[in-house]
Amino acid sequence: MQIQGETSVNKLIVLFVFDKMETALSERTVLEMCSSVNNWLLYMDCKELLPRLLEDGFICRISAPEEEPLFVITGEGRESLNSFYIQIPKSIRDEITTYVKNNSGKLRNRQECKSDYFQNVDGTYTVYLKILAPVQPMLELKFVVPDKKTAQRIYKNWECKASDLYSAIYETLVD
């Protein structure tokens, strides 16, 4: 169910998403959640809301300037949501709650785990892997691998294996 033209209700929907996710979110993640995967808002309505919410002081940017912008709900945004959340149709509140419960881990991983690869002059490939935190990267790795197939496999597996690898490296180095 998409709500068109009701800017205040649309703002509340986005604030409700931030509140339920309980973490910093990128614009891409908000757009995906609210417009692409679910039909809570029209894409263009949602795209216009983040700058408005930022301007109104309901969300703030917390990421480093060189990283993809991450936003969190502010105290003022939370107060506004608490005062007016009843204006969000119950069906949408229930959908958001269920969606976040079922997908929050996957969304966080996609947002926090970045990977890339490129071919080197000698025919090998360099793979860059990162786990991002709101202020600075938690982990950065660079591998040189012999072929494109290996680079692609590492690239594709990074999102689902990043937390296990981080834990293993941390435990190995701390012990």
- 4 in helix, strand or coil? coil
- Amino acid letter for position 45: D
- 85-110: average pLDDT: 87
**Confidence bin at 68 (pLDDT 50/70/90):** confident
CA-CA distances (angstroms) from residue 54 to 16, 30, 64, 97, 101?
Answer: 15, 14, 16, 23, 26
In the predicted model, is pLDDT for residue 3 greater than 50?
no
**Confidence bin at 37 (pLDDT 50/70/90):** confident
- Amino acid letter for position 112: E
**Confidence bin at 134 (pLDDT 50/70/90):** low
- 136-140: average pLDDT: 79
Query: Comparing C-alpha atoms, which of 60, 50, 12 is closest to residue 28?
Result: 50
**Confidence bin at 1 (pLDDT 50/70/90):** very low
Cβ atoms of 77 and 60 closer than 8 Å: no
**Confidence bin at 4 (pLDDT 50/70/90):** very low
In the predicted model, is pLDDT for residue 123 greater than 60?
yes
DSSP 17-72: HHHHHTS-EEHHHHHIIIIIIS-SB-HHHHHHHHHHHHHHTSEEE-S-TTSPPEEE
Residue range(s) occupied by CATH 1.10.10.10 in the chain: 7-111
What are 142-153's pLDDT values in tens digits? 989 999 999 999
- Amino acid letter for position 25: L
- 165-171: average pLDDT: 86
- 175 in helix, strand or coil? coil
CATH 1.10.10.10 assigned to 7-111: yes
